[in-house]
Every structure is written in C-alpha cells, then in structure tokens.
Amino acid sequence: MTVWDGLVGQRAVIATLSRAVGGHGMTHAWLFTGPPGSGRSNAAVAFAAALQCEQRSGCGECHACHTVLAGSHADVVRVRTEKLSIGVDDVRDLVRKAALAPVGARWQIMVVEDADRLTDSACNALLKAIEEPTERTVWLLCAPTSEDVLGTIRSRCRSIALSTPAPVDVADFLVRTEGVSESLASYAARASQGHIGRARALARDEATRNRRRERHRGAGATRARRTGEQPGVGHPVAAHGPAQGGDHGPLPDQPLPDGHRASSRLARASRGRTRARTASTRSSTGRRASRTR
C-alpha cells in the first residue's frame, strides 16, 4: 500500500506529484486546493511522505513514509488550527523552523493546512520565506480555492487542484479500506456527495448497525426487523429506492431499516428541502419528483 492509496479519485494529481518526487517539476512552494472532503490535506501529507520516502516513491512501507503519515517525522511540520485565523507569530515560528536544515538527508517540509486562515500580516511573513527559499525547504499550503490565498503567495506556488471524487471512486475506496459490501459502499458514496470523511463515517455506521442487527436476528429478535421493512410515509428512506441510482438497488441481502434512518439523517442535512417538504403538504410537483427520484 503506497502513500497515494489514501487519495480518492485523484489520478491526475497523483501523477503530477509522483513526477515531482522523481525530480520533474519539483519546486519549493505548492498550493493544494479542493472542496471540503476531497482530501487536499491528505494529498499534501502524502506528497510530503513521498518526498521523504527512502525509496523515493512514497512506498508506504519505509520508516520515513510511516512517520510522515503518523505525524512524527522530524522534518515535516504540519500546521492545523481550530482557530479562525493563523497569526503572524505562528508564521514567524514556522519560518524560523523552515530555515533550519533538515535532520535527515532530504527535505524540510512545512504543511500549512489552513492557508486560507492566514492573517494579512501572517501572509506577508510567509511571503518573505517563500520568496527567499532555502535550498531544501518545501512549503505545502492547503486551501479550499486558490482565491482564498493572497495573490502574491499564490503566484509563487505551483498549483494542485483536487476535484470532488466520483461516487464510483469513493465506493471503491470504501470497499478497499472499510471492508464493506459494494452496495453499502455505493450507497454511502452517493449519500455523502463526494465527501470522503462523511462517506467513511456513514459506511462505518451502517456496517456497525448491520452487524448488530445480524446478532439480534441470530438471537431470534425478528420483530425488530419487521418494523423496519415498511418505509413510513414521509420517511426519506424512499430516496434510496431502486429508481434512484440504478447501481444500488434496495440492498436485498441487507435489510437496513435503522441504518437507512441514520444515513438519511445525513442526506437530509445536505438536502434541507426534503425536510421542508415533509412539513408541508403543499409542495410542488418538482419537489416531489426530486424527493422520490
């Protein structure tokens, strides 16, 4: 398993970054952009691992790959924040660290996961560091879009744009990493609309519920199952009917009454319209169509 395996549906990005690891198109400042859940931070960290990799490939097996992914590599600093902004003092610390020679033989890598939260003065401090790079320092900045980063910084970075992964790629990933069935993976992939974290949580949640249900069934608790077999009127479970995607179907081997309820909570959150409609009987035909689609 290589460091790239955690990136979902980003073949072009992986190809570009792999070439850079091999010395083609390498530069000292990169900007990773992509919608929430597309894995822009994961891409930056995978790139950092590949750059430090003892095999120079991102093998995923060597000590360097492991420690970068685990967040304990001495030459990879990863900046994340829960705060609304990253101030100039934080960046000055970072710039000082960036100027140090790496402990190992390769790069000193600074990953700034929320570059869109840099204050103006923090940006200026960072800009100076990026304008006058030390030979072995690499900056990996992450932001939702390139417009979220000051133009002067953006123009000095090589841009890596991640796209929202396709449902089929998310589903493959879930089957591979979570060990869930293809039908459940496909359902979770579509319900999460390309957000990897949400898809994963959904698949895990469903899988846990399925296992619990299997145990109950084994113990003879068949009643609990029967209550779920009738989708209630106004219940969003109808949205998972076979007519919706074609590739999913009603999960014949996995009656998921409770699970569907939980997952439709997620679907509902992203589709406020659905809930609004449930509350009102005067919905338009168009809305009804979208709900039973």
What is the rounded distance in angstroms from the CA atom of residue 209 to the CA atom of residue 214? 9
What is the rounded distance in angstroms from the CA atom of residue 172 to the CA atom of residue 177? 9
- Smaller CB separation from Zn ion, 59 or 168: 59
Residue 140: CB minimum distance to Zn ion, A: 17
Residue 78: CB minimum distance to Zn ion, A: 18
Q: Give yes or no for residue 67 binding Zn ion (CB under 5 A).
A: no
Binding residues for Zn ion, rule CB under 5 A, total 5
What is the rounded distance in angstroms from the CA atom of residue 184 to the CA atom of residue 172? 11
User: Is the CB of residue 38 less than 8 Å from the CB of residue 160?
Assistant: no
- Smaller CB separation from Zn ion, 55 or 292: 55
Phi, psi of 205 (to 5 degrees): -60, -45
Q: Give yes or no for residue 69 binding Zn ion (CB under 5 A).
A: no
User: Is the CB of residue 203 less than 8 Å from the CB of residue 50?
Assistant: no
Which range binds Zn ion by CB under 5 A, 60-68, 77-85, 147-155, 196-204? Answer: 60-68
User: Is the CB of residue 37 less than 8 Å from the CB of residue 196?
Assistant: yes
Residue 63: CB minimum distance to Zn ion, A: 8
Residue with tokens 């459940």: 184
Three-state secondary-structure class, residue 99 = helix
Residue 59: CB minimum distance to Zn ion, A: 4
Adjacent-strand bridge partners of 233: none
Out of 59, 168, 201, 262, the only residue in the binding site for Zn ion (CB under 5 A) is: 59
Q: Give yes or no for residue 66 binding Zn ion (CB under 5 A).
A: no
Which range binds Zn ion by CB under 5 A, 54-62, 121-129, 162-170, 184-192? Answer: 54-62
Q: Give yes or no for residue 62 binding Zn ion (CB under 5 A).
A: yes
For residue 193 the two structure tokens come to: 């609309």
Residues that bind Zn ion (CB under 5 A): 53, 55, 59, 62, 65
